[in-house]
């Protein structure tokens, strides 16, 4: 066996340097090396329960993995660091993270939500609110006046923002909306799944909580379903959220947490590559006569472009939608002909997806029938453009 113990001085120096390193370095390294064996890949911790000491205490700090676990504590500290928060909780899915927020509300609490938002969450919020007597009001995503008048109308517990929002990528001014909400005593949650912590930091713009479907960019490889909430600071509402996870029990499994740590290592590279591709694709689609509208916040023609340029740094994300002049039939035909873009739901993976959203969402959808949603991946741009050219030109 090789000896050569790491000197305490070395470890202290390393820790000091790492503390000053950017979150990008932290995720590349999967956090701090804490094991005696100095593994450069994080260990997997499957334990559901932990040994008590003779005096009844828990020297390993953990009791039972529904409450806390080394399986996901590194992940939580990385997410907290990425978003500039004080604490984070990971969940069994993005929906479970959203549900913990709903469970933290009390009957009669008022929730103000955007009109356009991830379809599954929108339906669940309205259904949950009906069953558990929460009051819900909706605002057009980019309309600050509408937010202001809803907040003035009645006391509101929580303002929910999703930006850019599914599937039209409407943008909400986080900074301005947070000022309005805080003036009226409301907390603010931002579903930042689409922007990811690479492009946007809602907590630094005033939000109280950030939600991620970690299934998407954070993991990035279409092989984990997970969610996360990050809090700017501790407080009663955050404690209620923590309580909801512990007791409702929607914790993330150890293997999923481990895969997520692995996916996170390349988060910055992946998001930047997808954003760069998406902007070029949005520009190329805009030039095609078959496409009537391209919805992408990176285009100067998008209604949310200026706000997005202010609150997103280094790109506008990998999500865009296109509407086709030939209507629903043309949109579906294009989706059917694409080969590199896979016909699949979800987003934020390394591979590109296309989806006819209206048919996935079904009756009651707000999504136009002539719209295709693209989750742009990290494949070489030329392959993606050639695939689109071939599918759109065909008749």
Ligand X SMILES: *Cc1c(COP(=O)(O)O)cnc(C)c1O
Q: Which stretch binds ligand X (CB under 6 A): 14-22, 118-126, 229-237, 304-312?
A: 118-126
66 as an active site residue: the answer is yes
Total of residues contacting ligand X (CB under 6 A)? 17
Q: Please confirm whether the linkage preceding 167 is cis (ω < 30° from 0).
A: yes
Our CB check for ligand X shows the closer of 109 and 162 to be 162
Given candidates 27, 75, 88, 95, which one binds ligand X under the rule CB under 6 A? 95
Spell out, one character per residue from 295 to 334, where the chain touches ligand X: x when CB under 6 A holds, - when not. Answer: ----------------------------------------
Length of the chain in terms of residues written? 395
Strands (E), the chain: 87-91, 110-114, 135-139, 158-162, 187-191, 209-213, 227-231, 291-295, 319-324, 342-343, 353-355, 371-375
| Active-site option among 122, 157, 216, 232 | 216
Given candidates 83, 170, 173, 191, which one binds ligand X under the rule CB under 6 A? 191
- 146 three-state secondary structure: helix
- 3-state SS of the chain: helix, strand, coil percent to 5? 40, 15, 45
118 as an active site residue: the answer is yes
**Of the candidates 276, 271, 323, which has an alpha carbon nearest to the alpha carbon of residue 302?**
323
**Of the candidates 198, 199, 213, which has an alpha carbon nearest to the alpha carbon of residue 268?**
198
Given candidates 26, 118, 160, 353, which one binds ligand X under the rule CB under 6 A? 118
Spell out, one character per residue from 138 to 177, where the chain touches ligand X: x when CB under 6 A holds, - when not. Answer: ------------------------x---x-----------
Helix (H) or strand (E) holding 14: helix 8-20
* HSE toward the beta carbon, residue 33, CA cutoff 13 A: 13
Least distance (Å) from ligand X to the CB of residue 56? 38
Between 144-153 and 174-183, two packed helices, what is the crossing angle to 10 degrees? 10
* HSE toward the beta carbon, residue 286, CA cutoff 13 A: 16
Q: Looking at the DSSP assignment, which residues form a beta bridge with residue 160?
A: 189
Strands laid side by side in the 291-295 sheet: 291-295, 319-324, 371-375, 353-355, 342-343
Regarding 193 and contact with ligand X (CB under 6 A), the answer is yes
Our CB check for ligand X shows the closer of 111 and 347 to be 347
Our CB check for ligand X shows the closer of 226 and 231 to be 226
Given candidates 104, 225, 251, 295, which one binds ligand X under the rule CB under 6 A? 225
| Active-site option among 72, 87, 110, 118 | 118
Least distance (Å) from ligand X to the CB of residue 326? 28
| Active-site option among 87, 191, 370, 387 | 191
Least distance (Å) from ligand X to the CB of residue 213? 3
216 as an active site residue: the answer is yes
Q: Which two tokens stand for residue 364?
A: 């009651």
Given candidates 75, 102, 121, 158, which one binds ligand X under the rule CB under 6 A? 121
| Helix count and strand count (H, E) for the chain | 15, 12
The residue number with the shortest CB distance to ligand X is 94
Catalytically annotated residues: 66, 118, 191, 216
Residues that bind ligand X (CB under 6 A): 93-95, 118, 120-121, 162, 166, 191, 193-194, 213, 215-216, 225, 227, 347
């Amino acid at each position: 066996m090789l000896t050569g113990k790491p000197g305490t001085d070395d470890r202290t120096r390393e820790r000091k340097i790492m503390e000053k390193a950017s979150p990008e370095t932290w995720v590349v390294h999967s956090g701090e090396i804490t094991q005696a064996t100095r593994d450069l890949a994080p260990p997997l911790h499957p334990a559901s329960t932990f040994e008590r000491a003779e005096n009844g205490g828990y020297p390993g700090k953990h009791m039972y993995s529904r409450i806390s676990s080394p399986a996901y504590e590194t992940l939580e500290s990385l997410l907290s660091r990425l978003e500039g928060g004080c604490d984070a909780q990971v969940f069994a899915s993005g929906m479970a993270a959203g549900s913990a927020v709903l469970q933290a509300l009390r009957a009669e609490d008022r929730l103000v939500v955007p009109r356009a938002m991830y379809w599954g969450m929108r339906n669940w919020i309205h259904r949950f609110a009906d069953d558990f007597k929460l009051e819900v009001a909706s605002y057009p995503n980019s309309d600050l006046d509408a937010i202001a008048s809803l907040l003035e109308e009645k006391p509101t517990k929580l303002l929910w923002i999703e930006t850019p929002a599914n599937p039209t990528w409407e943008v909400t001014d986080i900074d301005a909306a947070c000022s309005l909400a805080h003036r009226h005593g409301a907390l603010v949650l931002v579903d930042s799944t689409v922007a990811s912590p690479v492009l946007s930091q809602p907590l630094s713009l005033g939000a109280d909580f950030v939600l991620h479907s970690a299934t998407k960019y954070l993991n990035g490889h279409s092989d984990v379903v997970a969610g996360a909430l990050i809090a700017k600071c501790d407080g009663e509402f955050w404690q209620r959220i923590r309580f909801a996870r512990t007791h409702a029990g929607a914790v993330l499994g150890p293997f999923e947490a481990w895969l997520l740590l692995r996916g996170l290592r390349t988060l910055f590279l992946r998001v930047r590559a997808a954003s760069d591709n998406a902007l070029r694709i949005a520009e190329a689609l805009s030039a095609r006569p078959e496409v009537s509208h391209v919805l992408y916040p990176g285009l100067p023609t998008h209604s949310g472009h200026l706000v997005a340029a202010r609150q997103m740094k280094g790109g506008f994300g990998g999500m865009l939608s296109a509407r086709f002049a030939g209507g629903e039939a043309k949109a579906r035909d294009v989706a059917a002909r694409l080969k590199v873009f896979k016909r699949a739901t979800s987003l934020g993976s390394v591979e590109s997806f296309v989806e006819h959203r209206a048919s996935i969402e079904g009756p009651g959808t707000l999504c136009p029938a002539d719209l295709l949603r693209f989750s742009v991946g990290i494949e070489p741009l030329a392959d993606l453009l050639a695939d689109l050219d071939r599918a759109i030109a065909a008749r």
